[in-house]
Structure 1
Amino acid sequence: MGTWDIGPFDNDTAADFAGDLDEAAVEEREPMIRSVLERAVAAKEFLETPDAERAVAAVALVVAQLPDGAPAHANYGPSEPLPVLPADLRTLAVEALDRVVAESSEIAELWDDVPDGRKWRQDVTRLRDVLEPPIPPQEEALFVR
């Protein structure tokens, strides 16, 4: 596994996925992203690292198209434009990220064993928060009965 940083495209598998997206016809890109997310969600027993790395990269592409999302690709992400991704990918992306950080995920185990593991989890949490922002706590009721 060639990983050089915590970002969604900072590993060989995700960078290769970005290259595959660049080489695909525009109409094939959204189905490729969907397929990667579905594969991660479908891994019920154990999610292998390559599938998780592709899933995190795919999630970053979904997040990049949201109002609070950051650009997904620094140096190693896709260089070709993506079509507007359908809204239903947002829910699938949340499910995929939840699977990536689950106990039965190889990548989560690997990151938990290295010093930057906490930073990686924070980065994944930031992606998830853009997809499904946490509800801020209410200090007092909005309406009094």
Structure 2
Amino acid sequence: MGTWDIGPFDSDTAADFSYRVDDAPAEKRAEVLRAAFREVTATGDDYLDSDLAVEAIASAALVAAQCPGGEPVTTAYGPKEPLPELPVELRPMAVAALDRVLGQDSELLELWEESDGEEWKAGIRKLRAVLAGA
């Protein structure tokens, strides 16, 4: 896993995902985020691959940036193209995806618990709180 910090875009997978968001036509960018949330929540109780989890977290950060109290995505590894106003129905989808990432059988959670797990989990919970409160 090419990860250099605990932020939503601080990995190779998240940076690659940003390119996918940028490559989508403006009117389809919300669908790219929606698909990332669906892939994670569709795993149910099955093992959740870390790459899917990373993409859902990056998507959640983009949605949260448009919420009251959300932090803008300013990293050079995030999307370069501006996002249109995102549909509010993405917010509960993002919350459900983040809950799944922090749940059982999550490879990304297991990987983070081997290092800075508590700090990383605190960041995910903060992101979730912004989305749930919006």
TM-score normalised per structure 1: 0.88
- Residue aligning to 1:140: none
- Residue aligning to 2:94: 93
Measure how far apart 1:132 and its partner are.
Answer: 1.4
1:60-90, CA deviations, whole angstroms, 9 ceiling, x for partnerless residues? Answer: 0000000110012412000100111111100
Residues in 2 aligned to 1:132 and 1:35: alpha-carbon distance in whole angstroms: 19
- Residue aligning to 1:54: 55
Q: How does 1:98-109 map to 2 (within 5 A)?
A: 98-109=99-110
Number of residues paired by the alignment? 132
The runs of at least 4 aligned residues of structure 1 exceeding 2 Å deviation read none
Identity of aligned residues (%): 48
Residues in 1 aligned to 2:104 and 2:112: alpha-carbon distance in whole angstroms: 12
In our comparison, the structure showing a higher alpha carbon Rg is: 1
What's the RMSD between the two structures over aligned residues? Answer: 0.8
**Structure 2 residues without counterparts, runs of 5 or longer:** none
TM-score normalised per structure 2: 0.95
**Structure 1 residues without counterparts, runs of 5 or longer:** 134-145
2:98 counterpart of 1:79: no
1:19 aligned counterpart, secondary structure: helix
1:7-31, CA deviations, whole angstroms, 9 ceiling, x for partnerless residues? Answer: 0000011100101111221011111
